[in-house]
Structure 1
Amino acid sequence: MSDNTIIFYDIPAKNELIWSPNTWKIRYALNYKGIPYKVVWVEFPDIESEMKKLGVQPTDTYPDGSPGPCYTVPTIYDPKTKRHITDSILIARYLDDTYPDRPLLFPPGTRTLQGPWSDVLTWPFLAPMFQFLMPATTWVMNSSSEKFLRNKMPIPMEEVYPSGEKKVEEWKKVEKGFAKMEKWFEKEDTFVCGDTVTFADFALGGYLMWIKIVLGPDSAEWKDVASWNNGRWGKFLKSLEKYEKL
């Protein structure tokens, strides 16, 4: 490992699961560009103190929109420039600007087009998925992060996760959300921008990976998602496998 190896901050989980949709965006990006990196694992309750210790600037708000300062990962440290960068889209832009000789995450003229995909987790029509994902996320967390997440919720996670007839109805809403997103793709397109993989694909891939990992690759729920829209989402994630590791 050279002195210029990037330090990449991520959140651990049980059984070495890599689950975070936001950090997956940057893992994909680093691997795509072929930039060496070392992962430093930080539990949820330790993120703020660790980022403050490193002198990392906070983001403006929390994911729910409440006022900050809020410290988040992904964050990277690049020894080449001696800079810390946080927030996935800012990191992706930085990687292209600093390493333009490697494959671009934002081909010329696509930064504005790709921007909204960085916030795929906030799209209203995908919101029904969160009642499934948030409880499932706590169930794969290490104890300190699990406690941290549970304390953020006004009711037990087990009550958030739908059951019975409600689960059936809410899952139908999830399917409708994916059907809406599918309409944005041309039938023959593999990726968001056609045949060329870009940061937008890594943002969507991070979301799909979150579903697959926390619900389980053999779960009925993931098998549903992977099969919807003529198998688009399962095939889409499969197409990104080559970027899962450096």
Structure 2
Amino acid sequence: MAITLYELVGRDAARPFSPHCWKVRLALRHKGLDFQSAAAGFTEIPGLEGGYSKIVPILKDGETLVADSFAIAEYLEDTYPDRPSLFGGEGGRTLSRFVESWTQRTVHPALARLAALDIHDILDAPDQAYFRESREKAFGTTLEDFVADRAERVEPFLKSLEPLRAILVKQPFLGGESPLFADYIVFGAFQWARVSSPFRFLPAEDPVSVWFERCLSLYEGEGAKVPAAA
């Protein structure tokens, strides 16, 4: 049965940008599963699959619906155990939870301070209104003020990546010699910034940048198929 992945897009339906959707896209490729992408803007999500979820990604596998990127990864692992493992065992599943927690509490907020206004600018008008209202309420300031000092925020952000960098100078992936879902979790965050914002902050020689380029090339260049924002 066909697998459908509902993904978040802006004006250009061919440019999915959600970090959580990118995690699942690479997880599906890791498992060697064919899927079709279905694009949705922010304001379209509540109408998907009869209002099944307020968030994407949503995976539809036959008659089964699953929302939330980690829940989808666990579904794929448990439903297709004969295909390459996303976690490398139960210990890896638990450690991936830590990686997700760190990424969403350290990397995502920092990237939002760099790219929030650019994300707004790639959206359709109805989604722009939704995004501005919801994010400015959450941030307590305008999008413009939220990113006004982004150039000064780059160095502290790069320093915060030292735990990641220390691992990646010793091995090609967080998963070791080959990637696991933990890699896709962190990759999704950087891909979010790459696809939605032209602001560049990772030096090319940084081990994190080298790892990210390595991830872009995975699965016949799945990540690189969507060009960087310009």
Aligned pair count? Answer: 215
TM-score (norm 2): 0.84
Partner of 2:192: 210
User: Partner letter of residue 50 of structure 1?
Assistant: L
Pair member with larger Rg: 1
SS at match of 2:33: coil
Q: Greater shift after overlay, 203-212 or 147-156?
A: 147-156
Partner of 1:193: 175
Distance 1:180 1:118 in 2: 14
1:77-135 CA distances to partner (integer Å, 9 max, x unpaired)?
A: 111xx210011011001101111121110112311111122344422476333211222
SS at match of 2:185: helix
Q: Greater shift after overlay, 38-47 or 168-177?
A: 168-177
1:235: Cα distance to partner? 1.6
Partner of 1:238: 213
Distance 2:124 2:203 in 1: 27
SS at match of 1:47: helix
TM-score (norm 1): 0.79
| 1:49–1:126 distance in 2 versus 1, CA, 3 Å | closer
SS at match of 1:122: helix
Residue 16 of structure 2 contacts residue 39 of structure 2 at CA under 8 Å; is this kept in 1?
Answer: no
1:2-21 CA distances to partner (integer Å, 9 max, x unpaired)?
A: xx110110112234322111
Partner of 2:115: 133
| 1:151–1:186 distance in 2 versus 1, CA, 3 Å | closer
Distance 1:89 1:137 in 2: 23
Could you list the structure 1 runs, at least 4 aligned residues long, displaced by more than 6 angstroms after superposition.
none
SS at match of 1:128: helix
Percent identity, aligned pairs only, is 22
Q: Does 1:171 align with 2:154?
A: yes
SS at match of 2:65: strand
User: Partner letter of residue 8 of structure 1?
Assistant: L
Distance 2:102 2:128 in 1: 24
| 1:139–1:41 distance in 2 versus 1, CA, 3 Å | same
1:148-184 CA distances to partner (integer Å, 9 max, x unpaired)?
A: 101111443222212xxx444322221221234323x
Distance 2:28 2:75 in 1: 11
Residue 171 of structure 2 contacts residue 177 of structure 2 at CA under 8 Å; is this kept in 1?
Answer: yes
